[in-house]
Amino acid sequence: MTDEALTQLAHQSMPFAAELGLTVESGSPAQVVGRASWQADRCTVGGALHGGYLMALADSVGALCAHLNLPAGAGTSTIESKTNFLRAATEGDVTISSTPLHVGRTTIVVVTDITRADGKLVTRTTQTQAVLGPS
């Protein structure tokens, strides 16, 4: 089930998330869960979702998770990201789940897993988000 308010927040703050077809199912400071669908125009050789597409999904959901952990008035920006590709996603929806590993004064580190419909892990991304002072 889509959380319309969080999906709208993601699309308004990161317009590229709308282009990715990302919807947000749930979100809290402890975890953000999103969903996206396999489409041929998002693929590479062999009909697998493109690695860049998967990384963009992970970055978007990870950034939303970091956002939900920010102090009032602060912003965030990705300063480092590393993705392990474990298996292909060649059909159906993927679920993107992000949880904070560290919430600090100057950085937030999140871990984002993308799984296929069969529950198997496709990617694991660890990213560091800068905490940007209140504007």
Give mean pLDDT, residues 53-80: 97
Every domain of the chain and the residues it spans: 4-132
pLDDT in tens, 101-111: 999 999 999 99
- Give SS3 for 87: coil
pLDDT given at position 18 = 97
**What is the C-alpha R_g of the chain?**
14
pLDDT in tens, 7-33: 999 999 999 999 999 999 999 999 999
User: Which residue, 16, 41, 31, 23, is CA-closest to 93?
Assistant: 23
* pLDDT beyond 60 at 135: no
Contacts of 119 (CB under 8 A, 6+ apart): none
Query: What percent of the chain lies above the pLDDT cut of 70?
Result: 99
Q: How confident is the model at residue 134 (pLDDT cuts 50, 70, 90)?
A: confident
Identify the CATH number of the domain defined by range 4-132: 3.10.129.10
pLDDT of res. 78:
96
